[in-house]
Structure 1
Amino acid sequence: MKLAKSTTTKFVLNPILTAMLGLSVSLSAQAAVSSADQDESMTVVTANRSAQSISDIAATVMVIEGEQIAEQAKSGVDFKALLANLIPSLDVGSQSRTNSGQNMRGRKTLVMIDGISLNSSRSISRQFDSINPFNIARIEVISGASAMYGGGSTGGVINIITKKGRDADGVSETWLGAKSGFNSSEDLEWQVAQSVSMNNENMDARLAVSYVDTGGMYDSNGDMVLHDVTQTSTQFNSQLDIMGNVGFKLSSTKRLELMAQYYDSGQDSDYGVDYGPRYRYISDPSKTIGMAEGYQLDDQAQSVRSLISANYSDADFLGQTLNLQLFHRSESLHFNPFPDFSSMSLGSSEQDTQVTGAKLVLTSTPTDALSLVYGVDADYEKFSATQNMYDIRTASATNGLVHAKIGETGRYPDIKNTSFSGFLQADYQIVKSLSVNAGVRYQYIEIDVSDFVAADQQYKVLTGQITSADAVPGGKKGYGNTLFNTGLLFKMSQQQQLWFNFSQAFEVPDPAKYYGRGTYDNSGNLTSSINVSNNPLEGVKTNAVELGWRLNQDSVSAQLVSYYSVSDKKVQYNKADQTVDVVDNDVRIYGLEGQLDYYLTGELSLGTNFNYIISEAKDSGEWQDLTIDSASPSKASAYLAWQADSLQARLQTMQMFSYEDSADNKLEGYNTVDLLTGVALPVGALQFGITNLLNTEYDTLWSQRAQSTYSSLIPNTSLVKFQGQGRTYSVNYSVEF
């Protein structure tokens, strides 16, 4: 079997992509023409089903091909890490379950699967704990704010396109893999994945099952990495990803596609954090907190998602292209227990979200020079959160290892989020070398917050300390926004372009962490509160501009973009109780983003990408460096790759640079090196990898953020010191037949 070529990232997307809502990317896969009909310099994206040359791009966009994703994943590179390796604007990732703080251009990232958003009103950062790379065909990326994608896209958009039956080279694909640092018998991860596909003239289908079992993770010193007590770990974790889709060719212009996914990533660990007798180590910085056996907890950390969608397309609907998508997403996210010493309680939350939506896009070309994209989207979201409460005395007597459940309370107010949007986008070619695009989106969001008794008061009722407590009043708050974007593209030649664009984005900060707070007397009577009527949560609007240059030739692809974004408000976290507030301080983020891929010969290539970024907030009229809790550090990566008929190798390095904020708090930079190699066999292929080749000792970016974010709750910062995984070896056998 021929070994997959080590490919470079293509800068190929339709210019309308930067201004469309999430459906525009999602339907790129469902409504696309067969890849066999495309030229190598083309790719089919967006709802209009047109193959676009790289010279038509009017924004910072890129496509990460499936071969690139597979090469990294089969070589043992973590999913969040491989994204950071390949996407210049994306921060380096954690090695725990969370992607909290992994921003694009210093702002929030909208993550989608086939155009269906994984973001929610409750900003739980587990969007990358949602799919196994085995099921990914490609990833489409937009860097920077997008006017047409709705909330959560202030930093950019990552749309994960899943594999379809029509994309399969054969009828079956198999992955068998293992990964270890050889530190102990617990240091092993293994994977088995299998898909079956079919493809004929009128129907195609694919069914895939992937299972991954992960043991312990060990740092460069051979010690087990501490479980993430804040956002949870993926050590001693099993991941099941079941995905199926079927497509029907209804006529020469009409297609219907159905997709369903079930994803379950859950922890079952006998190892837990040793907090010391009566949790003393938390408040004693002289103690180094580590792992210990004997962990007993029935409901450990878990991410469970189900996703279904129906996509219908008609390439000749009243002379236009029509795309309609209906979808439903359901998720349940479990956390592990953590003590609250202010109320002497011990609880772990379970947070559930249900989202149902529809998206309609119409594309027309009234003239050869003018194209229009317009439509509507709507979705309805329900969020609820409960909290399992445990006997803190039992846990305290066992160094925080044994948990006996005593009941259940609420964690956050119930939130209902209704959103409706309409949009219009136009692209006009003034002359052959110059085109302009502009768009407008109106979005209305209504947040409905339930009445809620504060969580600590519910615990007092549960344990009999009080008989009842008042509820913080709920209510409704509406947000109506009109967002604009415009862009200008100049083709210096077929291979080289310049562009400028302006775009706006809007988001509502996490309402669950804002509302439902109150002050109570000793009898449970409410004396003051944060509620919808008296303290409505404000939204945040971001304006962004960028100026870019791109070159695409046979042997070289290069892109350089300067960007600037400013928001009118700042979302501020209260470290004492982990709630959010919105303050009237501007935040500006600007920088330089670049990428280069160069083929020295047909077999040898090298490349680099980087993001130099400056993040500042205005305080008392002065611009000051943003705090390390939220500022994105600059980063750069580089690689050297060699490809022969049956062998391939790639040496890659990632550098996160140090960052210091205005209060002299510092993020320490670090560098890692990976070696990825592969060999084609008579049947199938073997991929070998060594991640963290030099066995570098470092704290992950999330670890360093967490030490600041939770500083008011955790005096001993070693409790949130999550070191990076040490040198790790992997092997993967794959075959298609």
Structure 2
Amino acid sequence: MAMAAENEEQANATQLDKQIVTATRSNESLATLPYTVQVVSQDQIALQAQAGVDLGTVLGRLVPGLAPGDNSATSYYQSLRGRKVLVLIDGVAQRTNKNVSRELTSISTANIERVEIVSGASAMYGAGATGGVINIITKKGQDEEPVFKTEVGMTTSTENTDDDQLAYNVAQSVSGKKGKLDYYLGAAFDSRGHFIDSHGDQIATDPNQVGRDNTDALDLMFNGGYQISSTKRFTVGAEYYNEEMDTDYAADFGDPDAQLLMLPEGFLGAGGLYNPQPKDGLNMSQQPSSERKSLTLNFTDQNFLGQALTSQLNYRSGDYYYYPYYGTPLYLDTNWQAVNQAVTQAYTDSLMAGDDAATAGANASAALTPAYLGNSQAKSSITQSRIETEAIDLKIALDSQLDVGERTLSLTYGLDYIKDSGKQTSTEYDYDKWFDSDQLNYVETGNIYQAGPSAESETVAAFLQTAYPLTDQLTLRAGIRHEYIKVEVDDYTSGEDVMNAEVYSSQLSDTDLQALAALSGMTAAQLLGALTAGTAAALNAEDFITYSDTVTIREGGEEEFSATLLNAGLVYDFNTQQQMYFNFSQGFTVPDMARLLRSVSVFSDVNEPGPVLDSTNVDAIKTDSFDLGWRGQFDTIQAQASLYYNVSDKYTHFDKVTGVVELRDQTEKVWGFEGSINAHLTDNISTGATYAYTYGETETETNGWEALPVDRISPQKITSHLTYNNYGSFSVALQMLQMLDTDKAHKDNVANAEFEGYTTFDLLTQFALPKGQVGIAISNLANESYQPLYNQVRAYPSTGASTDLPAQGRTLSVNYSIEY
């Protein structure tokens, strides 16, 4: 399943004997599990990461059903089997009620021992795992004597060797045991410069989910353990991660059209003509960043009333900034004096032409709208999102072994409790100063608005998981979990409402507007409202422009969700070398409530504003998942294959034009195939390949069944490798990643993007030195010019499309590591 060789011990190990903890919350042999499971080792991670890529990109190369990473700050688009994946760190679910989606990028690969991936819907760790679970296992102390490890590295583009595009990494760790104590202390620092494309040009930073160019990242980790007795153990884990962008280059949003500005075929240009370029001279005091803190306490007792007890308490918090972005409201900044003069001139000209007063008045009224449009400049708001999260997580599980007949029944049961809170705010920047500076000068106005209501959720769950060998060859696993989630939402004042009201109420005192209103027999508010509504209708822009001079406080509330989730699976052993398995499991997720409710504003109101929870569809999503698979471990060949199908009765829809997220009551189904094979051709030469095919569709009210877009369903993915490993001295691996073209979703709905496939090659080498080891990696060996998957599909006006952002060209990385 790996794309490059591991060390000799790992190469000779039996894959099916590997012990994993993710699938059942207790140590189990992979061969006994009715799931598609993959274990990515420390050596595999280190080999891939020496090319300067993050964990999301590493796993996208190694895990067949996982969508590819793109080395950005987010893993939002990395679906597993077409659905969301739940990320754990040492068994702690990283989800909160704000879906930040930076879990796979906010940890250094230098601190990771291995990663376990369980594909398919799962409820074992609660809500959020409708596509599967990725459990990141961090390093612990193992050897009796202290072991120090130092790693240093550098990455450069081969097409542009300027100093400001270089990337550096350094990591230092120490681990060991002393008596009953064991410890691991690690620190990793990464500094990245410009990203360079295949033509040697700097790539503009991604203003959507944030690029990782020109960033500095620090990851500090401590894991300590104390063996209280032969059966009792206490451990503590602490981590601090911080990544900040520090660049002088702005993201260029293009040249605004003075009249249409951000409208679908205005600001960005008809047909997607946006072509972002980096701009020197950025002035932004708070650049995009990620900060994460975590503290975990574990206590285990292998003989607690004849059972094995596992308990875990975790506290974690996060603070995340995004790139400033456009959004509603859009408005027309009007020179009312010029409008009044034009209307007065029309009235005067009509009288001078011999018209009577009534006719002159009619001519003046007819001149009002053209004068209004001709003396107005389209403007927008520009704000920066900040998300703050905090969570407390408590887990208690017991593992029992009972004799039933002549066989052993395994029981794992327990309770989970999670309390987490999240809020999102928008810091406003001065639009005029930003616009006049050619999009370089971000000056805060001092206004901070709500970007969705603050929310707090509590989760209580009880679960039972069983395993029983029905025969010597057939094992049954089954389980049940009941989960209850309560979400409390605060009263909410939409930032869009506030900004919209500020824009229009400030104009009502204009004496020229008041004079025009009196001439029309209206109040200033009535005239401005009528002109705004007429303009919005004429431009087909009601979703972007609306008149409101008041602000509504929308009442918060409480929602409760509960679900009983089942799983059952069979594993049949043909012999010690191969098994077949079938599994049914259910997953459960509550969408990001604040994100759903963020779009509730004067722009979405149909009737009078009411409680915020009544303003949009809010519900949980339950997914049924089926998996039929086979795996085998032979003398020189490892292989596995699986067919899967999953279905849900709801669908989270993101409108790429308006930026609105809504939950739709429509069926969504996904099916596909995954396969992998690895073969040792000789003692030193191995080869392998993976293939993944996923297809999904949803049943719409108007068009029937439509293919799901590529940002949800990854295109077909093929990987392969050819590796030579002279164990202990030298290894070299040539690997390929191929993404195939697809236009299925585009044919069903032209709003969905087509995808143009690409093929990349990487060369990874390692050399043993008398002291230490050197790794040399060349990524994108052929210097392929292409756009990553999500830069082709995630284009929407409200945050400045990242369409046309190219991928990095060929890079050369050199790394040195030593243990002592």
Q: Same fold (TM over 0.5)?
A: yes
Q: CA deviation at 1:461?
A: 6.5
Distance in 2, matches of 1:633 and 1:6, equals 35
The answer to whether residue 463 in structure 2 is matched with residue 485 in structure 1 is no
Q: Tell me the secondary structure at the aligned position of residue 710 of structure 2.
A: coil
> Of 406, 426, 430, which aligns to 1:391?
430
Distance 2:788 2:729 in 1: 36
Matching residue of 1:635: 717
Deviation (angstroms), 1:124: 2.0
TM-score by length of 2: 0.82
Show the 5 A alignment for 1:163-174: 163-166=139-142, 171-174=147-150
* Contact 1:274/1:400 (8 A) holds in 2: yes
- For the 8 Å contact 2:22–2:116, the answer to whether it is kept is no
Q: How far apart, in 1, do the equivalents of 2:771 and 2:578 lie? A: 41
Q: Which moved more, 1:397-406 or 1:259-268?
A: 397-406
SS for the counterpart of 2:498 is helix
| 1:369–1:242 distance in 2 versus 1, CA, 3 Å | same
Corresponding position of 1:353:
389
Matched, 1:579 2:667: no
Kindly indicate whether residue 689 of structure 2 is the aligned counterpart of residue 608 of structure 1.
yes
Find the counterpart in structure 2 of residue 333 from structure 1. 320
Matches within 5 A, 1:204-243: 204-243=182-221
Which secondary structure state, in structure 1, belongs to the residue aligned with residue 432 of structure 2? helix
Structure of higher CA gyration radius: 2
Q: 1:109 aligns with which of 55, 79, 85?
A: 85
| 1:652 lines up with 2:637 in the alignment | no
Q: 1:419 to 1:107 in 2, by over 3 A?
A: same
The alignment status of 1:702 with 2:784, answered yes or no, reads no
Tell me how far apart the structure 2 counterparts of residues 525 and 567 of structure 1 sit (CA, whole Å). 29
Equivalent position of 1:26 in the other structure: none
48 and 692 in structure 1: CA distance in 2 versus 1, 3 angstrom threshold: closer
Q: Give the 3 Å change call, closer, same or farther, for CA 88–3 of structure 1 in structure 2.
A: closer
* Alpha-carbon displacement from aligned partner over 1:609-630 (angstroms, at most 9, x marks no partner): 1211111112348433112342
Summarize the alignment of residues 161-560 of structure 1 with structure 2, pairs less than 5 Å apart: 161-166=137-142, 171-182=147-158, 183=160, 184-275=162-253, 282-284=267-269, 288-340=275-327, 342-343=329-330, 344-367=380-403, 368-407=407-446, 408-460=448-500, 465=505, 469-520=551-602, 527-528=608-609, 531-533=612-614, 535-560=616-641
Could you report, residue by residue, the CA deviation over 1:23-56 in whole angstroms, capped at 9, with x for unpaired residues? xxxxxxxxxxxxxxxxxx4435369997644432
Does the Cα contact within 8 Å between 1:544 and 1:566 map onto a contact in 2?
yes
Provide, for residues 413-455 of structure 1, a one-character-per-residue CA deviation record: whole Å limited to 9, x for no partner: 1010110100001101111111111100000011111111111
Alpha-carbon contact 2:650-2:663 (below 8 Å) kept: yes
Q: Which has the higher strand share?
A: 1
| Rounded Cα–Cα distance in structure 2 between residues aligned with 1:416 and 1:424 | 27
Q: 1:530 to 1:8 in 2, by over 3 A?
A: farther
Partner of 1:283, secondary structure, is coil
1:95 to partner: Cα distance = 2.3
**2:659 is equivalent to residue 623 of structure 1:** no
After superposition, the C-alpha distances for 1:146-188 in whole angstroms (9 at most, x for unaligned) are 1322221011110000001126985211110000104122110
Instruction: Read off the aligned partner of 1:663 and give its amino acid letter.
Output: N
Between the aligned partners of 1:5 and 1:74, the Cα distance in structure 2 is 20
Q: What is the Cα deviation at residue 548 of structure 1?
A: 0.7
TM-aligned CA deviation for residue 78 of structure 1:
3.7
Indicate how the Cα distance of structure 1 residues 613 and 348 shifts in structure 2: closer, same or farther if over 3 A, else same.
Answer: same
Q: In the TM superposition, what is the alpha-carbon distance from 1:598 to its structure 2 partner? A: 0.9
Deviation of 1:597 (Å): 1.2
8 Å contact kept, 1:435–1:489: yes
State the AA in 1 paired with 2:392: T
Residue 401 of structure 2 aligns with an amino acid whose one-letter code is T
Counterpart CA distance in 2 for 1:180 and 1:296 is 27
CA 733–592 in structure 1, closer or farther in 2 if over 3 Å, else same: same
Deviation at 1:138, TM superposition (A): 0.3
Which residue of structure 1 aligns with residue 134 of structure 2? 158
SS at match of 1:67: helix
Identical columns (%): 34
Which of 689, 693, 711 in structure 1 is aligned with 2:781?
693
Q: Secondary structure at the match of 1:149?
A: coil
Q: For each residue in 1:257-312, what CA deviation from the matched residue of structure 2 results, as whole angstroms up to 9, or x when unmatched?
A: 00000000110100112345668794345563311110110000000000100000
**1-structure distance, mates of 2:595, 2:164:** 37
Structure 1 residues 331 and 167, CA gap change in structure 2 (3 angstroms)? farther
Measured in 2, the distance between the counterparts of 1:89 and 1:520 equals 41
The change in CA–CA distance for 1:63 and 1:399 in structure 2 (over 3 A counts) is same
Q: What is the aligned length?
A: 703
| 1:649–1:676 CA contact under 8 A, matched in 2 | yes
Q: Relative to 1, partners in 2 of residues 1:572 and 1:317: Cα closer, same or farther, differing over 3 Å?
A: same
Task: Choose 341-350 or 376-385, whichever is displaced more.
Answer: 341-350
Gaps of 5+ in 2: 331-379, 507-548
- Distance (whole Å) between structure 2 residues aligned to residue 584 and residue 119 of structure 1: 24
Q: Which amino acid aligns with 2:268?
A: S
Please give the alpha-carbon distance, in whole angstroms, between the structure 1 residues aligned to 2:620 and 2:456.
Answer: 16
- Equivalent residues in 2 for 1:125-140, closer than 5 Å: 125-140=101-116
Paired with 1:663 and 1:461, the residues of 2 have a C-alpha distance of 36
Give the SS at the match of 1:154.
coil
* Contact 2:72–2:211 under 8 Å retained in 1: yes
Which amino acid is the alignment partner of residue 440 of structure 2? L
The 1:625–1:47 alpha-carbon spacing in structure 2 relative to 1, beyond 3 Å, is closer
Secondary structure in structure 2 of the residue aligned to 1:578 = coil
Alpha carbons of 1:81 and 1:167: their partners in 2 closer, same or farther (altered >3 Å)?
farther
Letter in 2 for 1:551: G
What is the one-letter code of the residue matched to 1:310? L
Query: What letter matches 1:263 in structure 2?
Result: Y
Structure 2 Cα separation of the partners of residues 287 and 365 of structure 1: 62
Gaps of 5+ in 1: 14-40
Superposition pairs of residues 58-97 of structure 1, within 5 angstroms: 58-97=34-73
SS in 2 for 1:71: helix
CA distance in 2: counterparts of 1:313 and 1:139, whole angstroms: 22
Q: Secondary structure at the match of 1:119?
A: coil
Q: Distance in 2 between the 1:605 and 1:134 partners?
A: 26
- 1:219 partner amino acid: D
**Structure 1 equivalent of residue 818 of structure 2:** 735
C-alpha displacement of 1:728? 0.2
Asked if the contact 2:24–2:124 (Cα under 8 Å) also holds between the matched residues in 1, the reply is no
The structure carrying a bigger helix percent of its residues is 2
Q: Cα RMSD over matched residues?
A: 2.6
* Amino acid of the structure 1 residue aligned with 2:740: F
- Give me the whole-angstrom Cα distance separating, in 2, the residues matched to 1:489 and 1:569: 31
1:264 is matched by which residue type in structure 2?
N
Distance 2:682 2:166 in 1: 38
Whole-angstrom CA distance in 2 between matches of 1:364 and 1:312: 17
Cα offset, 1:196, TM superposition: 1.4
State the 1:532 CA deviation: 1.8
Matches of 2:393 and 2:328 in 1, distance apart? 41
In 2, distance between residues paired with 1:647 and 1:388?
53
Which deviates more from structure 2 when the two are superposed, residues 307-316 or residues 452-461? 452-461
Q: 1:680 to 1:396 in 2, by over 3 A?
A: same
Separation in 2 of the partners of 1:415 and 1:615? 31
